[in-house]
Chains A and B, each alone.
Chain A
Amino acid sequence: EVQLVESGGGLVQPGGSLRLSCAASGFTFSNYEMNWVRQAPGKGLEWVSYISSSGNIIYYADSVKGRFTISRDNAKNSLFLQMNSLRVEDAAIYSCASLTLTGYNYFDLWGQGTLVTVAS
């Protein structure tokens, strides 16, 4: 079955750190460009970060640049998001999503997400 499964979410204090993981299965992970997208409770979707299939090209949303680091391990079919200096406004469900191979820059597979809560 083709799927993405996130893990690593939890409760963290402001200023703290958390590392999210996304396990891919059922497809050739190393061929796909990957992203993290988040959704605060009751709010809309917000793109967070992108990484190319080989990991050599990376982009971040302005809201997380300098605090979050995206990475991947193609040998382990895994995507990661290291989140440092967390703020209350970073609280959200974080989902990994693959970018279509068509070149049209849409997300064609999503995970169910992992919840990150930032509170003291």
Chain B
Amino acid sequence: SYVLTQPPSVSVAPGKTARITCGGNNIGSKSVHWYQQKPGQAPVLVIYYYNDRPSGIPERFSGSISGNTASLTISRVEVGDEADYYCQVWDSSSDHWVFGGGTKLTVL
């Protein structure tokens, strides 16, 4: 089955740039989506189809792909960005939806 690998945690100071990675075999051939989840809340889509932002998501959030790694970049990080972030793809070979293990973003 398809596997997405994320670092368990990333720390960043307010105002700096955070980059959260998501590794997967040939991930560039898949549409990668990113969700933000704060404690006790449902996940919120922040990036879809590599680098598109839903309405209401700040331009500070962006996505990219390089080789077998997708990345979510958050510029000018705010305290309110502290949350768990998950990447997600649809694996057409198995007709399964796959999530990465999640990355806890801590704003120091």
Given known contacts A95-B42, A104-B33, A105-B31, is B99 in contact with A45 (CB within 8 Å)?
yes
Interface residue range, chain A: 20 to 34
> Does residue A50 face the partner (Cβ distance < 8 Å to B)?
yes
Number of A-B contacts (CB under 8 A): 58
A55 lies within 8 A of chain B by Cβ: no
Given A47-B99, A106-B88, A111-B42, A62 and B1 contact (CB-CB distance below 8 Å):
yes
Cβ-based interface call for B102 (8 A):
yes
Interface size on B (CB < 8 Å)? 25
Identify the closest chain B residue to A46 (Cβ).
Answer: B99
Q: A46-B99, A62-B1, A110-B43 are in contact. Are A105 and B90 (CB under 8 A)?
A: yes
- Known A-B contacts A106-B48, A110-B42; A44 and B31 likewise in contact (beta carbons under 8 Å): no
Our pick among B1, B45, B97, B101 for the contact of A44 (Cβ within 8 Å) is B101
Chain B, residues 4-19, CB within 8 Å of chain A (1/0): the string is 0000000000000000
Check A59 against B96 for contact (C-beta < 8 Å): yes
Collect the chain B residues with CB atoms within 8 Å of residue A45's CB: 35, 37, 43, 86, 88, 99, 102
- The answer to the question of A108 belonging to the interface, with a C-beta cut-off of 8 Å to chain B, is yes
- Interface SS of B by simple majority: strand
Residues of B within 8 A of A104 (CB): 31, 33, 48-49
Contact digits for A59-83, partner B, Cβ 8 Å, 1 yes 0 no = 1011000000000000000000000
Name which residue of chain B comes closest to A45, CB basis: B99
26 contacts between A and B (CB under 8 A): A44-B99, A45-B35, A45-B37, A45-B43, A45-B86, A46-B99, A47-B99, A50-B97, A59-B95, A61-B96, A62-B1, A102-B48, A104-B31, A105-B31, A105-B97, A106-B31, A106-B48, A106-B49, A107-B35, A107-B43, A107-B88, A107-B97, A108-B54, A110-B42, A112-B42, A113-B42
Chain B residues close to A by CB (< 8 Å): 1, 31, 33, 35, 37, 41-43, 45, 48-49, 54, 84, 86, 88-90, 95-102
